[in-house]
């Protein structure tokens, strides 16, 4: 197809209404299944071959167009007496939950948390207060931004001052008299609200309890809130694994609801009354949407617990016996290496989703041997409200791929320089067009335009920065990261993911991250260094030798790692992704120290 014809076709498709899009998707599914003969363009985003894996009812299901609170209540009209949340405060039914959301909304409105205002909180994962505030803010017309637990006070003050907020919600887990003094002195906060049932002592009368906060809404009727599903609801923190700087991503009600709509319209085995274990606070889109809004809209019991120490995770898992949970690979490995077996968990586990980092072949092999269900890998980004691609059943859990696009999500491969779409099995940048795209980055239009790019046909795509391919059946594979490369002295680019894939195949390697380290022989240049975690059943030095041998056999000299560092474990960000920046800074400091010692000697 000629370039201009392709653009004209895409412009025509962009003008279709929702019903016409559904009819076209059913038609495309029939072509992919071989039920009818039809023209194929050779471009994945137009042909959508992955629709063959979706039932017609999933394709034609009407997407919600309402607020997040309205959607939650609508989905649970028949579940009012069922448990919604199991947390440190006990069991909360859906009726109790909705009553508390309404009380929270009235109090927020009374204190001025209306449209244009953002509620800030730093709260533990084992209470329901984040849930009350999220949906209460939605009902009052405002929005929320939850910070990562134990955020340093200077960063916390900066976060508060960069947002239009007057109120900060916290608990005894993090509240101290020193924090109280610094916040009131260095920010524009009017009141700190301590949500704990027995709040710590305070030195300032402006700090109030959750009970005092709720009393603000007594005998008050909430007026009609003209909230659009496209209004700001939630500011999510990205992981910052590549840049080291988390970004503030603005999401709306549609982002929450349509993401959940897609996950429910799939073959994922969700049922009313199932238990979903959440151990993350709601600072990220994946926690707020995939591990909270999804569970609650599906009528499940959202089991809220604090993240345990690593050695206690398997104990918590077996105590709670969840049917569903979203994890990072490190947590699944904690279960595997705790001594648990497939037989121990097969009576209760239904889905085990994983995201946040790439799956190595070695990890996938371990997970397949351990999990009684398939490995439900999800790929996406905060800018898309979490998932865009999913392994939704055993049929779509194909090793070497990350699955297929969600039913209402379009994924294409583009030349990052020209923005021209590429055909099947051609490597380029993975781009996402969806109903769950972010509003943008908070107060950063320049960065927003770098990620949300309008193509020549007028459609807007999220440019993920990941390299990948799509095959003829619609399966997506990630092959690398555009910006994550190491520019070595010889002028070549080394892509860490290539080294990680090679090293992960060495027996005994549990985890691996390849990072950039200063070149010992060429100042101002960098070389790859591999940080690995070795299975305790293997001899460390034997594994190191095999890693070196594997690299020499498969890599050119310029891509060979400068060093193989054996670690007890990799450092992780709060999002669960490996903390690449910390590994790089630790290596650089170690090299600098060694240099100083050598000079002294």
Q: Is 578 a residue whose pLDDT tops 90?
A: no
Q: Look up the pTM and report it.
A: 0.84
pLDDT, position 241:
44
Between 488 and 406, where is the model more confident?
406
What whole-number distance in Å separates Cα of residue 418 and Cα of residue 405? Answer: 23
Closest of 586, 494, 580, 508 to residue 547, by C-alpha:
508
- Tokens 């809404």, located at residue: 217
Give the start-to-end residue ranges of the domains of the chain: 1-58+409-483, 69-307, 486-600
What is the average pLDDT across 496-504? 88
- What percent of the chain has a predicted confidence (pLDDT) above 90? 75
Instruction: Provide the 3-class DSSP secondary structure of residue 79.
Output: coil
Which tens digits make up the pLDDT trace of 41-77? 999 999 999 999 999 999 999 999 999 999 999 999 9
Q: Residue 490: its pLDDT value, please?
A: 66
Predicted local distance difference test score (pLDDT) of residue 81: 98
When pLDDT is cut at 50, 70 and 90, the band that residue 453 belongs to is very high
pLDDT beyond 60 at 254: yes
**Residue 483: what pLDDT?**
67
pLDDT of 580 higher than 90: no
Q: Quick one: average pLDDT of 116-126?
A: 96
4: CB partners within 8 A, 6+ apart:
none
**Which has more pLDDT, 464 or 575?**
464
Homologous superfamily (CATH) for 486-600: ANL, C-terminal domain (3.30.300.30)
Task: Work out the angle between the directed axes of helices 68-75 and 253-264 (0-180°, nearest 10).
Answer: 30
pLDDT confidence band for 560 (50 / 70 / 90):
confident
Positive or negative, the CA dihedral 335, 340, 341, 345 is negative
Where is mean pLDDT largest: 120-129, 144-153, 489-498? 120-129
Of 152, 160, 93, 165, the C-alpha closest to 128 is: 93
Q: Would 1-58+409-483 and 69-307 be classified into the same CATH topology? A: no
pLDDT in tens, 329-360: 878 989 999 999 999 999 999 999 887 666 77
- Structure confidence by residue, pLDDT tens digits, 227-241: 999 999 999 987 554
**Which 8-state DSSP code applies to residue 359?**
P
pLDDT at 23 over 50: yes
pLDDT at 455: 95
Q: Please identify, in words, the CATH class of the domain defined by 69-307.
A: alpha beta
Residue 215: pLDDT over 90? yes
The more confident residue out of 135 and 552 is 135
What is the reported pLDDT for 249? 96
**Hunting for tokens 């649970």 — which residue is that?**
76
Specify the pLDDT at position 2: 81
Fold of 1-58+409-483: Luciferase; domain 3 (2.30.38)
**What does pLDDT average to over the chain?**
92
Mean pLDDT of 441-447: 94
**Whose CA is closest to 260, among 291, 236, 234?**
291
């Amino acid at each position: 197809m000629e370039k201009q014809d392709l653009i004209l076709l895409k412009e025509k498709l962009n003008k279709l209404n929702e019903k016409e899009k559904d009819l076209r998707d059913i038609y495309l599914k029939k072509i992919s299944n071989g039920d009818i003969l039809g023209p194929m363009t050779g471009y994945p985003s137009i042909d959508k071959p992955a629709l063959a894996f979706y039932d017609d009812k999933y394709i034609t299901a009407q997407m919600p167009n309402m607020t997040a609170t309205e959607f939650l209540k609508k989905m649970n009209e028949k579940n009012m007496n069922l448990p919604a949340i199991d947390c440190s405060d006990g069991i909360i039914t859906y009726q109790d939950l909705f009553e508390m959301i309404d009380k929270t909304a009235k109090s927020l409105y009374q204190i001025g948390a209306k449209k244009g205002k953002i509620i800030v909180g730093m709260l533990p994962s084992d209470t329901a207060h984040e849930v009350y505030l999220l949906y209460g803010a939605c009902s009052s017309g405002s929005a929320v931004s939850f910070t990562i637990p134990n955020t340093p006070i200077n960063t916390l003050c900066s976060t508060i001052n960069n947002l239009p907020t007057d109120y900060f919600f916290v608990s005894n887990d993090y509240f101290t008299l020193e924090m109280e003094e610094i916040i009131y002195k260095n920010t524009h906060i009017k009141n700190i609200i301590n949500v704990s049932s027995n709040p710590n002592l305070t030195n300032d009368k402006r700090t109030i309890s959750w009970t005092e906060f709720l009393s603000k809404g007594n005998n008050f009727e909430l007026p009609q809130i003209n909230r659009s599903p496209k209004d700001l609801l939630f500011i999510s923190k990205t992981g910052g694994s590549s840049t080291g700087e988390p970004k503030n991503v603005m999401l709306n009600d549609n982002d929450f609801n349509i993401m959940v709509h897609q996950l429910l319209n799939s073959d994922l085995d969700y049922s009313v009354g199932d238990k979903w274990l959440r151990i993350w606070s709601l600072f990220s889109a994946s926690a707020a949407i995939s591990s909270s809004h999804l569970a609650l809209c599906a009528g499940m019991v959202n089991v809220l617990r604090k993240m345990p120490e690593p050695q206690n995770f398997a104990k918590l898992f077996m105590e709670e016996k969840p049917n569903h949970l979203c994890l990072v690979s490190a947590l699944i490995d904690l279960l595997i290496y705790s001594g648990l077996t497939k037989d121990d968990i097969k009576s209760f586990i239904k889905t085990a989703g994983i995201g946040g980092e790439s799956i190595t072949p070695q990890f996938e092999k371990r997970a397949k041997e351990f999990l009684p269900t398939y490995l439900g890998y999800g790929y996406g980004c905060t800018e898309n409200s979490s998932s865009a691609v999913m392994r939704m059943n055993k049929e779509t859990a194909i090793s070497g791929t990350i699955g297929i696009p969600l039913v209402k999500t379009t994924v294409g491969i583009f030349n990052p320089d020209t923005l021209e779409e590429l055909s099947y099995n051609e490597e380029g940048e993975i781009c996402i067009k969806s109903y769950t795209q972010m509003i943008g980055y908070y107060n950063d239009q320049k960065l927003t335009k770098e990620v949300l790019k309008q193509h020549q046909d007028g459609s807007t795509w999220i440019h993920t920065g990941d390299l990948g391919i799509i095959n003829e059946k619609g399966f997506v594979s990630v092959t690398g990261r555009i910006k994550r490369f190491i520019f070595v002295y010889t002028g070549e680019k080394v892509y860490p993911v290539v080294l990680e894939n090679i090293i992960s195949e060495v027996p005994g390697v549990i985890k691996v991250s390849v990072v950039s380290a200063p070149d010992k022989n060429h100042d101002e240049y960098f070389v790859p260094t591999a940080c690995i975690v070795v299975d305790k059943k293997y001899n460390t030095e034997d594994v190191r030798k095999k890693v070196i041998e594997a690299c020499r056999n498969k890599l050119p000299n310029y891509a060979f790692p400068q060093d193989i560092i054996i670690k007890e474990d990799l450092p992780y960000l709060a999002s669960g992704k490996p903390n690449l920046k910390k590994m790089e800074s630790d290596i650089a400091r170690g090299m600098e120290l060694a240099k100083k010692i050598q000079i002294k000697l």
